A = this chain, B = another copy of it.
Amino acid sequence: MSTMLDVSRAAERLLAAERVLILTHRRPDGDTIGSAAALCRVLRQKGKEAWVLPNEDITPRLSFLLEGLTAPEGTAPGLIAAVDIADTQLLPPSAAALGDRVDLCLDHHPSNTGYARELLLHPKAAATGEVVFQVMEAMDARPDGKIWEALYIAVATDTGCFRFSNTTPLAHRIAADAIAAGLDFLPHNRTFFEAKSKNRFLIERKMFDSMVFSPDGRVCCAWLDRDWLNAIGATDDDLDNLSTLTMSLEDVQCGIILTQNKKDKAYKVSVRTHKPADASRICAGFGGGGHARAAGCTVDLPAEAACKALMAAAAEEIASC
């Protein structure tokens, strides 16, 4: 298990190193990349040779943050720091061999497995960006525009633009400071919270078209067939978080999305609920499980029949609450 550090001790460790190599997680999001970019730039300001290990999964809308920061092949690592990585299984292929060599991890996931030698963990932070911000303050660093941009993206993306339940006062304060320092946040808000790809649009339209409701409007169900998904060339990214869309409808207490598998043509089912209905109880009846608000299962039935069975189970769960 890791030795737990506080903010000032973590800052000391980083300042004591000459070289730092920063790792980000697989399927990187705004928080891991924003945190890595901010930390790397702060360390360079402090005279360190700091790099971010290239992450082969990075998407174009995030890669600009690492311009000039990604480690050339063969860079000697020095201190190895992981940001926003809860488990070595989440390391990207490029970093897989470094899992047991991580010196310091900065994170906010309560599920952090303690794989790093030392760990600074703020489980109530909305984003690892908040942890990096505090380390930066402890170093008495003066963030420039690019550091503010990286920190803003880290906290804004992990809070759904300050909308989700995890949003903290510190997330808002970082945004306030970033904007006061002159950050042009609008293009980022547009990229991360507004822009919708053509495929995503087609998928949402298809989903809305197939949506069926229980008579009382409290359960809604929609499905996507694999032939159609293949026809438009849908990626897994395009299908991300679809079930949350069902939950934005007034009166809906339980939203169910069925996506046909690539291989066996059965339907992968994602269930979301508002309190008090329990999604895991609904899925348990179909051999699945998960959490109270979000759960899943697999159903090997035609879409209409699967929908009917799942909606009946959901109605029963709602009635029992």
Contact of A250 (CB < 8 Å), options: B165, B197, B204, B217: B197
Instruction: Pick the contact of A179: B168, B201, B208, B249 (CB < 8 A).
Output: B168
| Bound Cα distance A194, B186 (Å) | 20
Residue numbers of A with Cβ under 8 A of B are 161-165, 167-170, 172-173, 175-177, 179-180, 185-186, 189, 193-198, 201, 204-205, 208-209, 217, 247-251
Q: Are the C-beta atoms of B194 and A165 separated by less than 8 Å?
A: no
CB-based contact B173/A185 at 8 Å: no
Q: Across the two chains, which residue of chain B brings its CB closest to A161?
A: B163
The contact of A167 among B168, B179, B195, by CB within 8 Å, is: B179
Apart from A161-B162, A169-B177, what 6 extra A-B contacts exist at CB < 8 Å? A162-B162, A167-B179, A168-B179, A172-B172, A205-B208, A205-B209
Oligomer copy total? 2
27 interchain pairs, CB-CB under 8 A: A162-B175, A163-B189, A163-B194, A165-B186, A167-B185, A169-B176, A169-B177, A169-B180, A170-B176, A172-B176, A172-B179, A176-B176, A194-B247, A194-B248, A195-B249, A196-B248, A197-B250, A198-B217, A198-B249, A198-B251, A201-B208, A201-B249, A205-B205, A205-B208, A205-B209, A208-B208, A209-B209
Chain B residue nearest in CB terms to A173: B176
A172 to chain B: which residues have CB within 8 Å? 162, 172-173, 175-176, 179
- Give the distance in Å from the alpha carbon of A251 to the alpha carbon of B251 in the complex: 33
